[in-house]
């Protein structure tokens, strides 16, 4: 089944304790598409880039078989640019610069040939734009949405309206607590699922992730990484691995969602090993499945 991916395509300037890149490919749609491309039969990208967008980055998407018919080229300005600096502990970062550029007027237009896509990945953009995507697709089968505290506090009504049409919400733990206004994560999850999403994933960074679906809770571990090089894109890579797997298998059972969460965690764990999307350019199937098995062993509880 084809996967529709909508989000930002950007250039990032990144500084971590381990190094610095002035300008490297980034954006939620970039990370979601690249990681999903290892699983999905067809990834269909929707986003916008400016006149400065590098042909080599177009080539990168093409090399991964990603359909770019929905990638708008706006010659009136430059590509969205974000610059940030990570602190020593890598859990916090300061935004040093944000230039929306052509992204400021981004209006996602879904090409005719994408409109029958069953699996929809809505990367973190303004909730109203996320909803406009859903207006344009024929019969969305499984809608997955990412958002952030900026929209939770800044556009709560628009977000809650969009959430009613979402099947699976993917957010991090502080965002879940903020959205539900409840410190206990398990209780917060119950409250958020009443807002619309039947299923919910709470990402907890170095503590793994929680999946709530049906009557089940699944607790996924985080991969124990000694050298996290650059956390940029880890959350989007999670979403790409998850949706790549689920769209590929076209199976929404709780056990298959568990597998999706682990493949998402696998892709996030690769993402942080190098700067930007560098590590996601040429992974092998063996590397991906070997790491899946390492996740299994990591959290295996023997029978008694």
**Position 217 contacts a copy of itself (CB under 8 A):** yes
Return d(Cα 175, Cα 183) in angstroms, integer.
11
**Position 183 contacts a copy of itself (CB under 8 A):** yes
**Position 25 contacts a copy of itself (CB under 8 A):** no
Quick one: which segment of 18-26, 50-58, 145-153, 219-227 binds a copy of itself (CB under 8 A)?
219-227
Please, what is the end-to-end C-alpha distance for the chain in angstroms? 41
Return d(Cα 53, Cα 254) in angstroms, integer.
40
Return d(Cα 240, Cα 110) in angstroms, integer.
19
Closest CA to 205 of 106, 125, 285, 89: 89
**Position 191 contacts a copy of itself (CB under 8 A):** no
Quick one: which segment of 140-148, 157-165, 229-237, 291-299 binds a copy of itself (CB under 8 A)?
291-299
**Position 166 contacts a copy of itself (CB under 8 A):** no
Residue 109 or 225 having the CB closest to a copy of itself:
225
**Cα three-residue angle 3-278-226, rounded to 5 degrees:** 105
Quick one: which segment of 28-36, 40-48, 51-59, 253-261 binds a copy of itself (CB under 8 A)?
253-261
**Position 206 contacts a copy of itself (CB under 8 A):** yes
SS3 73: strand
Cβ-Cβ contacts under 8 Å for 66 (sequence gap 6 or more): 33, 34, 37, 43, 44, 45
Which residues are near a copy of itself by CB under 8 A?
A: 88-91, 183-187, 190, 204, 206-208, 210, 217-222, 224-226, 228, 255-256, 258-259, 262, 289, 292, 295-296, 298-304
């Amino acid at each position: 089944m084809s996967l529709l991916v909508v989000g930002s395509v950007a250039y990032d300037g990144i500084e971590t304790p381990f190094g610095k890149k002035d300008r490297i490919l980034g954006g939620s749609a970039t990370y979601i598409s690249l990681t999903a491309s290892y699983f999905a039969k067809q990834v269909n990208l929707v986003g916008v880039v400016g006149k400065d967008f590098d042909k080599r980055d177009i080539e990168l998407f093409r090399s991964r078989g990603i359909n770019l018919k929905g990638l708008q080229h706006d010659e009136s300005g430059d590509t969205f640019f974000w610059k940030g600096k990570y602190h020593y502990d890598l859990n916090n970062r300061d935004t040093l610069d944000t230039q929306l550029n052509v992204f400021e007027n981004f209006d996602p237009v879904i090409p005719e040939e994408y409109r029958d896509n069953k699996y929809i990945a809505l990367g973190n953009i303004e909730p109203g734009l996320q909803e406009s995507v859903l207006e344009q697709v024929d019969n969305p089968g499984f809608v997955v949405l990412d958002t952030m505290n900026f929209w939770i506090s800044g556009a709560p009504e628009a977000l809650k309206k969009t959430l009613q049409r979402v099947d699976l919400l993917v957010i991090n733990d502080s965002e879940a607590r903020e959205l539900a206004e409840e410190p206990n994560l398990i209780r917060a999850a119950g409250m958020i699922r009443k807002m619309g999403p039947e299923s919910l994933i709470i990402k907890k960074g170095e503590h793994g992730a929680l999946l709530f679906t049906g009557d089940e809770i699944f607790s996924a571990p985080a991969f124990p990484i000694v050298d996290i090089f650059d956390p940029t894109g880890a959350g989007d890579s999670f979403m790409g691995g998850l949706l790549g797997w689920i769209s590929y298998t076209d199976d929404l059972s709780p056990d298959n969602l568990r597998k999706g969460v682990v493949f998402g965690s696998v892709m996030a764990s690769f993402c942080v090993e190098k700067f930007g999307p560098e590590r996601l350019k040429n992974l092998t199937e063996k590397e991906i499945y070997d790491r899946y098995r390492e996740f299994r062993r990591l959290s295996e509880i023997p029978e008694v």
